[in-house]
């Protein structure tokens, strides 16, 4: 689905990412991890078409991402930022309707009635009691669910998540990630998510891509990547890695010690 060949991105004289070679297959869930400033968000912006590579080739479904129009790309690729949706006077239902924009003509009309689709999403995300409420009347967790509903309404084949659980408590973090996992199971959607929480990444992602100083430091399954030695090398902390008692995923415990 996605192929990157020697992709680099420079801002003025700063190399944000350099020499990225990477392949993502249909239906996979990749987590992009790494220290602050390692190029994670830049890579996601390249994948979404917001930024163009300074050099190299970035292809989506066999075509250069830069060859797609914004509306054409939005019919297949959805992006959810870490802040999701801020408070506003739009209702939840209106926000979900915005997700249908890529399929509307210049008069805002669609060839098919999207009402049944939006109804299904509202039920799936348990937003029935909130669909008429304004976003400024919702909690952060409820707004993030509405944001997820908006990208679900796009019916994409690729979902890009940029630290989507940053502002959520642990209950809503798990709720959000489980909803994405269920959506993926139902539709086969491909997911790429930038995550800071290594334990969430280990539990939900099939594969991890590790960036360090704008370059790929490693890629593989969570069990292959999240070892004590590798975490110590990349993140400069002193970890202990244990297996999750239910699913066996590696879970990272941290001490108070950090490397210089």
Residue 242 is predicted with a pLDDT of 96
My answer on whether 187 and 139 are in the same domain is: no
pLDDT in tens, 99-142: 898 888 776 777 777 889 999 999 988 888 888 899 888 888 88
Residue 87 is predicted with a pLDDT of 63
Residue 139 is predicted with a pLDDT of 84
In a domain, 248, yes or no: no
My answer on whether 137 and 163 are in the same domain is: no
Q: State the SS3 of the chain.
A: CEEEEEEEEEECCEEEEEEEEEEECCCCEEEEECCCCCCHHHHHHHHHCCCCCCEEEEEECCEEHHHCCHHHHHCCEEEECCCCCCCCCCEHHHHHHHCCHHHCCCCCCCCCCCHHHHHHHHHHCCCCCCCCCEHHHCCHHHHHHHHHHHHHHCCCCEEEEECCCCCCCHHHHHHHHHHHHHHHHHHCCEEEEECCCHHHHHHHCCEEEEEECCEEEEEECHHHHCCHHHHHHHHCEEEEEEECCCCCCEEEEEEEEECC
Residue range 215-225: average pLDDT? 97
Residue 145 is predicted with a pLDDT of 87
My answer on whether 72 and 160 are in the same domain is: yes
Residue range 197-221: average pLDDT? 96
My answer on whether 99 and 142 are in the same domain is: yes
Domain limit, last residue, from 104, 130, 154: 154
My answer on whether 60 and 178 are in the same domain is: yes
In a domain, 19, yes or no: yes
In a domain, 1, yes or no: yes
My answer on whether 165 and 138 are in the same domain is: no
- Domain span holding position 145: 88-154
Give me the chain's average pLDDT, please: 91
In a domain, 243, yes or no: no
My answer on whether 160 and 149 are in the same domain is: no
My answer on whether 150 and 195 are in the same domain is: no
What CATH number is given to the structural domain containing 65? Answer: 3.40.50.300
Residue 29 is predicted with a pLDDT of 98
- Higher local confidence (pLDDT), 35 or 103: 35
């Amino acid at each position: 689905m996605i192929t990157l060949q020697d992709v680099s991105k420079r801002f003025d004289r700063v190399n944000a990412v350099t020499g990225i070679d990477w392949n993502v297959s249909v239906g996979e869930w990749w987590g992009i991890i790494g220290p602050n400033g390692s190029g994670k968000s830049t890579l996601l912006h390249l994948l979404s078409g917001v930024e163009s590579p300074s050099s190299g080739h970035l292809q989506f479904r066999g075509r250069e991402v830069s060859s797609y129009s914004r509306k054409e790309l939005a019919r297949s690729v959805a992006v959810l930022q870490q802040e999701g949706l801020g408070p506003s006077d739009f209702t939840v239902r209106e926000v979900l309707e915005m997700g249908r924009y890529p399929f509307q003509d210049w008069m805002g009309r669609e060839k098919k009635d999207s009402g049944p689709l939006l109804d299904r999403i509202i039920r799936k995300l348990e937003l029935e009691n909130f669909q008429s409420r304004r976003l400024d009347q919702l909690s952060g967790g409820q707004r993030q669910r509405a944001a997820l509903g908006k990208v679900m309404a796009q019916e994409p084949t690729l979902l890009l998540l940029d630290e989507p659980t940053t502002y959520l408590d642990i209950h809503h973090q798990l709720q959000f990630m489980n909803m994405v996992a269920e959506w993926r199971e139902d539709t086969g959607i491909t997911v790429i998510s930038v995550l800071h929480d290594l334990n969430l990444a280990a539990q939900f992602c099939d594969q991890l891509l590790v960036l360090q100083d704008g370059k790929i430091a490693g890629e593989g399954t969570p069990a292959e990547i999240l070892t004590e030695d590798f975490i110590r090398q990349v993140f400069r902390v002193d970890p202990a890695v244990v297996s999750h008692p239910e699913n066996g995923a590696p879970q990272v415990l941290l001490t108070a010690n950090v490397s210089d």
